[in-house]
Amino acid sequence: MTGTLTPRTRPENASELNPRLDWKRIAYLILASRGLDDAEETKLMPEKKVVYQFSARGHDLAQVILGSLLDNQHDAAGAYYRSRPLLLTLGLTLEDAFAGPLRKSGGFSDGRDIGVVCNLPNRNGPIVLPMSGDVGSQYTPSVGWAQAITYHRDVLGDRSYERSIAVVLGGEASVATNGFWSALTIATTLQLPILFYIEDNGYGISVPGNLQTPLGNIAANLASFRNLYIRDGNGTEPAEAAQLFEEVIAHVRDGKGPALLRLRVPRLCGHSGQDTQAYKSPEFIAKEEASDPLPRLKRFLIPAVMSEAEFTDLERQAERDVTAALESALARPEPNPARITRYRFAEAGDDGKPEVQQVGGLAASGYVFPPSSDRPEPEAQRTNMLTAIRRTLEHELRINPRVLVFGEDVGPKGGVHAATMGLQDTFGDKRVFDTSLSEEGIVGRAVGMAIAGLMPVAEIQFRKYADPATEQLNNCGTIRWRTANRFAAPIVVRLPGGFAKVGDPWHSVSGEVTWAHAIGWQMCFPSNAEDAVGLLRAALRSNNPTIFFEHRHLLDGPWARRPYPGDDYVLPMGKAKITQKGEALTVVTWGAMVERCELAARKVGESIEIIDLRTISPWDRQTVLDSVSRTRRCLIVHEDGITAGFGAEVAAVIAQHAFFNLDAPIQRLAIPDIPVPHNNGLMEAVVPGVDSIAERMSEVIEA
Ligand SMILES: Cc1ncc(C[n+]2csc(CCOP(=O)(O)OP(=O)(O)O)c2C)c(N)n1
pLDDT at residue 3, as a whole number: 38
Q: What is the pLDDT of residues 82-104, one digit of tens each?
A: 999 999 999 999 999 999 999 99
Q: Which atom of ligand 1 is nearest to the CA of 136?
A: 1
Cβ-contact 276, 270 below 8 angstroms: yes
Q: Is 173 in the pocket of ligand 1 (CB under 6 A)?
A: yes
pLDDT at residue 15, as a whole number: 52
- Which residues, in sequence order, are CB contacts of 689 under 8 Å at separation 6+? 596
Does the pLDDT value for residue 212 go beyond 70? yes
Alpha carbon of 678 to those of 330, 464, 672, 683: distances in Å? 61, 15, 15, 6
d(CA 570, CA 566): 9
If we measure between CA atoms, which residue out of 466, 465, 445, 548 comes closest to residue 506? 465
Q: Is 174 in the pocket of ligand 1 (CB under 6 A)?
A: yes
d(CA 185, CA 136): 14
CA-angle at 194, arms to 188 and 198, nearest 5°: 95
- Residue 10: pLDDT band (50, 70, 90) is low
Q: Which atom of ligand 1 is nearest to the CA of 54?
A: 19
Residue owning the nearest CA to atom 20 of ligand 1 = 204
d(CA 563, CA 586): 27
Residue owning the nearest CA to atom 8 of ligand 1 = 135
Q: Is 201 in the pocket of ligand 1 (CB under 6 A)?
A: yes
pLDDT at residue 2, as a whole number: 37
Percentage, residues of the chain above pLDDT 70: 98
The amino acid sitting at 469 is A
d(CA 180, CA 471): 13
Cβ atoms within 10 Å of 90's Cβ, excluding its own: 23
Peptide bond into 258 cis (omega under 30): no
Q: In the Cβ-directed half-sphere of 419, how many Cα atoms lie within 13 Å?
A: 31
Q: In the Cβ-directed half-sphere of 18, how many Cα atoms lie within 13 Å?
A: 22
Sign for the CA dihedral angle at 319, 331, 487, 117 comes to: positive
Cβ atoms within 10 Å of 428's Cβ, excluding its own: 11
* Average pLDDT of the residues of the chain: 95
CA of 326 to the centre of ligand 1 (A): 28
Cβ-contact 358, 123 below 8 angstroms: yes
- Which residues, in sequence order, are CB contacts of 680 under 8 Å at separation 6+? 502
Q: In the Cβ-directed half-sphere of 7, how many Cα atoms lie within 13 Å?
A: 13
Phi, psi at 234, each rounded to 5°: -105, 120
The burial of 241, by beta-carbon neighbours within 10 Å (0-12 exposed, 13-18 middle, 19 or more buried), is given as: buried
CA of 465 to the centre of ligand 1 (A): 26
H-run or E-run covering 554: helix 552-555
Residue owning the nearest CA to atom 7 of ligand 1 = 135
CA–centroid distance for 656 within its chain: 34
Cβ-contact 525, 615 below 8 angstroms: yes
Question: Which one is catalytic: 59, 152, 271, 507?
Answer: 507
Percentage, residues of the chain above pLDDT 90: 94
Q: Is 171 in the pocket of ligand 1 (CB under 6 A)?
A: yes
Q: What is the pTM of this model?
A: 0.96
Q: What is the DSSP letter of 640?
A: E
Range 6-16 average pLDDT: 52
Q: Is 652 in the pocket of ligand 1 (CB under 6 A)?
A: no
Residue owning the nearest CA to atom 25 of ligand 1 = 134
pLDDT at residue 274, as a whole number: 81
Q: Is 135 in the pocket of ligand 1 (CB under 6 A)?
A: yes
CA of 203 to the centre of ligand 1 (A): 9
CA–centroid distance for 646 within its chain: 24
CA of 174 to the centre of ligand 1 (A): 7
pLDDT at residue 11, as a whole number: 59
- Which residues, in sequence order, are CB contacts of 608 under 8 Å at separation 6+? 580, 582, 584, 585, 586, 587, 601, 697
Cβ-contact 300, 238 below 8 angstroms: yes
- Residue 16: pLDDT band (50, 70, 90) is low
Q: What is the pLDDT of residues 410-440, one digit of tens each?
A: 999 999 999 999 999 999 999 999 999 999 9
CA of 137 to the centre of ligand 1 (A): 11
Q: Which atom of ligand 1 is nearest to the CA of 135?
A: 26
d(CA 479, CA 401): 24
Peptide bond into 558 cis (omega under 30): no
Quote the strand ranges of 473-521, DSSP E: 492-497
CA of 428 to the centre of ligand 1 (A): 40
Q: Is 172 in the pocket of ligand 1 (CB under 6 A)?
A: yes
| Residue to probe by mutation, ligand 1, list 37, 59, 86, 135, most atoms within 8 Å of CB | 135
If we measure between CA atoms, which residue out of 593, 642, 155 comes closest to residue 611? 593
H-run or E-run covering 77: strand 76-78
- Which residues, in sequence order, are CB contacts of 184 under 8 Å at separation 6+? 139, 196, 222, 225, 228, 258, 260
d(CA 698, CA 701): 5
Phi, psi at 552, each rounded to 5°: -60, -35
Cβ-contact 459, 389 below 8 angstroms: no
Q: Which atom of ligand 1 is nearest to the CA of 175?
A: 15
Residue owning the nearest CA to atom 12 of ligand 1 = 204
If we measure between CA atoms, which residue out of 183, 194, 180, 168 comes closest to residue 136? 180
- Residue 350: pLDDT band (50, 70, 90) is confident
Does the pLDDT value for residue 694 go beyond 80? yes
Does the pLDDT value for residue 131 go beyond 60? yes
d(CA 78, CA 146): 11
Question: Catalytic site residue 678?
Answer: no
Cβ-contact 586, 634 below 8 angstroms: yes
- Which residues, in sequence order, are CB contacts of 217 under 8 Å at separation 6+? 200, 209, 232, 262
- Residue 124: pLDDT band (50, 70, 90) is confident
d(CA 27, CA 25): 5
Residue owning the nearest CA to atom 11 of ligand 1 = 204
| Residue to probe by mutation, ligand 1, list 205, 210, 280, most atoms within 8 Å of CB | 205
CA of 560 to the centre of ligand 1 (A): 48
Cβ-contact 411, 421 below 8 angstroms: no
Residue owning the nearest CA to atom 4 of ligand 1 = 135
CA of 116 to the centre of ligand 1 (A): 13
Range 553-559 average pLDDT: 97
Q: Which atom of ligand 1 is nearest to the CA of 272?
A: 19
Q: Is 134 in the pocket of ligand 1 (CB under 6 A)?
A: yes
Q: What is the DSSP letter of 3?
A: -
CA of 55 to the centre of ligand 1 (A): 14
| Residues shown for the chain | 703
CA-angle at 573, arms to 567 and 578, nearest 5°: 95
